[in-house]
A = this chain, B = another copy of it.
């Protein structure tokens, strides 16, 4: 495989944002899709490969250092040890726990951080060297994009597990943007403030009209725009919500 090849990696692929981002970036780059459960990427891998693109799915536990290492060994085996990385998108979320604080177990509380904090750290450490190596090779500044949520900026009642993880991830993204922006890597954080329109949410918000849910394609377009920003014009953070959302 050509060493000049640049790829994109999306961690946290399901039916919504992750898949839309993968399709969008697959138009330009071979894409690697990471998810714990292959059911989450198998059909998408087939779809992209069948449409003339290139996609590889790797079953990965994003919160486990060994699993991340295996995944990146696999990536280097597939694409070459000097593969360049044009874009890495961290779209994983841990278990969503919403319950009275005093009923939370330690495991449930830590679940939010486990993926959004530790997992984001492991993914960032695995991808950053590849992003740095691509600064001079990539048409667009190599990009590391984190998917946040309303809970990234608001600690609501009974949401401490999710919110602590998401706030930690936002802090990480900001710290990385400040350290690696001057080195040419574009780190961004997106606050996705609303319900994504996916099969699981089909029955939600029906009274709020046809446009009450966020289009995953719209998110993917925003991420692609972030990726194409030149290094004179980096955005660290955008918020995204439906026009009708109360906020």
Binding site for B on A (CB under 8 A): 65, 100-102, 104, 106, 109-110, 113, 117-118, 121-122, 124-125, 128-129, 141, 151, 154-160, 163-182, 184, 186, 197, 211, 213-215, 218-219, 221-222, 225, 228-245, 247
Contacts and interface: CB of A to CB of B under 8 A. Distances in A.
A128 to B, nearest CB: 6
Given A104-B125, A117-B168, A164-B168, A186 B243 contact: yes
Contacts of A141: 243
Identical chains in the assembly:
4
Instruction: Name A's interface SS.
Output: helix
Contact of A197 (B166, B184, B232, B244): B232
A14 B229 CA distance: 22
A110 B122 CA distance: 11
A188 to B, nearest CB: 10
6 contacts: A101-B125, A104-B121, A117-B164, A214-B233, A233-B242, A237-B239
Given A106-B65, A125-B104, A168-B168, A231 B242 contact: yes
